[in-house]
Amino acid sequence: MNSLLDPRVRPIENPDPSRGMFSSIQEGVAQARGDAVLVLPGDMPFVRPDTVRAVIETYERRPAIVSPRYRGKRGHPVAVPLSLRDEIAATDPRSNLHEVIKRHTDIRVDLDVEDRGVLRDVDTLEDLAAGVTLTS
């Protein structure tokens, strides 16, 4: 929750979430300031703060698409340069960010982390309980 106090964090509201999850990313990118956005889905509460910092620091050293990777699997949060803003806006809202990212392997950086939270989303109370057990 402390992250919400960070002046770089701006909550946005998707005026039409019925268009799909990617439309929320499109809305956030459209309203973003600066040179990048950090995409961290709200259903991924187990990502460690040091992982978020590492993704941001990696982006600052090398502006690119930065994805954390745990044991060979990419996860979230993902840093996305706003140079991709127009392409993201033009993509069908029923698509997903992965479809945009895979067109840009030339500017993708994988950041190996020891944080299984980058892969763990929460869809049910059981998922939440299992995640709490794993992080305790």
Domains in the chain, start-ordered, CATH in brackets? 2-135 (3.90.550.10)
User: Residue 8: which of 54, 56, 50 has the closest Cα?
Assistant: 56
pLDDT (0 to 100) of residue 19: 94
Neighbours of 7 (CB within 10 A): 5
Confidence of residue 128 (pLDDT cuts 50, 70, 90): confident
Query: Pick the residue with more confidence: 8 or 16?
Result: 16
pLDDT at 121 over 90: no
Q: From the CA atom positions of the chain, what is the Rg in Å?
A: 15
pTM here? 0.87
Q: Side chain identity at 91, as an amino acid letter?
A: T
